[in-house]
Structure 1
Amino acid sequence: MDDEPLRDWADRRDAKIGRLRAMPVVSGDGPRGSHLYPETPRAIERWNGHAWEPYGFAADLDETKAVLYPEASRPPSPEPVSKPLGTGTGKHRKPPAPR
């Protein structure tokens, strides 16, 4: 059996510390998919390396996404404008039509 070194395992475990997740606050058999109850409040939990601990609270799915994915709520940085293909005789281009 190939066991991984303890140091590698510890590094993988420590890389997950601080990860956030949201759990819908619903009655019943437990957590459900977020798309099923978009208007329900969510408890936001943070992984501390050993267990999920309470971190925050969100009123609905939109607020939850803003907390979990802050980079998605920022406007995108302007992309450089690509140049349209100009005239040329590349192998992939069609030859000019005869007149």
Structure 2
Amino acid sequence: MPTARIASGHTAPGQGWQAYGPNGIYIDVDTTAAHFTGAPVYVTSIGSTGGNQWSLVGPSAVYDATASKFRVYVQWKDSRPLTPAIAQQYGWYINWIGYDNP
């Protein structure tokens, strides 16, 4: 019987963010290095090299999770426009921990 696996990681600061409409961005997080084999549970947070991540909504919501990836959408809490360039400017990145119990 396979054993449970726990792994963690983070995305590169400011890199990989994509536009999602005029007010949001998303990032696809690659977890293939964790070698999960089941349907992992992911827990996330957002970090920064330049700040302002406190004023975002969405960084703890995980979408489209598989053994090798998941997606996170974020926007400003006041819904003003947000672009990948802003994420790059602030050096935002996603921290993650995955638990896989195949």
Higher relative contact order (CA 8 A, sep 6+): 2
Write 1 or 2 for the structure with the bigger share of strand.
2
Structure showing greater radius of gyration is: 1
Regarding TM over 0.5, the answer is no
Q: TM-score, normalised by structure 1?
A: 0.23
- Greater per-residue helix proportion: 1
Output the TM-score relative to the length of structure 2. Answer: 0.22
